[in-house]
Amino acid sequence: MKFDWEERIAERLSRVFPLVNGASVRIDDAPGKREDGAKSGYIQFKDQPRISVDQFGDGMRHSFKVLACLIALEEAVDEDHPGMFLWEDPELFMHPATLGRLIKEVVGLLKEKPIQAFLSTQSLDVQVWIGQLLNEKFIDSKSINAYSLMLKQKGEFRTRLFQGEEIISWLDSGFDLRDAETAMIDQSPLSWRLKSSEEGEILW
């Protein structure tokens, strides 16, 4: 069976960015005369000239690279040869809503093959989207861990481990996974969930 990875990229990308739904994706030589053989992604709507992925903005380029790498990695792994995916700052260049759709597509790909993913982030949006997918049971709570890492004075390095259900409980309480010692209750944007008037209305 032929592996049409361009078609798979187009399918996943259109779920992240509905505006490219129905367009085809091609991987071809990068724009300009490059001697290093670099490749680039192109999006083409029916009866229209193809457009470089870069022309759609940084968020589209970021998403394209993530999805293309993972789809290619899927074809190279099996139970005897598992894969590893490192994703630093998933939130870069991403609108919060689009970020949520991208994370869901990435998780969907990870569920299909034996690939372990490591995410490094300082983003509240990433925390909340992961929590949402846990609540929806789209992510198996037994398959995810979160680590809070803190470098204190005099070079003291502290860590805390959160496991699936604990992540949900922590977020439901309005706490911030990034500060496992104090939870930053008074400083975190999540704290609005805990603040209410005597009548039970949320204070903004």
pLDDT in tens, 95-154: 999 999 999 999 999 999 999 999 999 888 898 899 899 989 999 999 999 998 887 778
Q: Which residues of 52-84 are buried (b: 16+ CB within 10 A; e: fewer)?
A: ebeebeebbbbbbebbbebbebbeeeeeeeebe
Residue 16 belongs to what H/E stretch? helix 5-16
> Which pLDDT score is estimated for 156?
82
Distance, CA of 56 to CA of 58 (rounded, Å): 7
Confidence of residue 186 (pLDDT cuts 50, 70, 90): low
How far apart CA 67 and CA 192 sit, in angstroms, is 34
With 0-12 / 13-18 / 19 or more C-beta atoms within 10 angstroms meaning exposed / middle / buried, residue 24 is: middle
Of 58 and 203, more confident: 58
Q: Each residue of 45-98: pLDDT tens digit? A: 998 999 999 999 999 999 999 999 999 999 999 999 999 999 999 999 999 999
Q: Indicate the pTM of the whole model.
A: 0.83
pLDDT band at residue 170 using 50, 70 and 90 as cut-offs: confident
By residue count, the chain amounts to: 204
Phi, psi dihedral angles at 10 (to 5 degrees): -60, -40
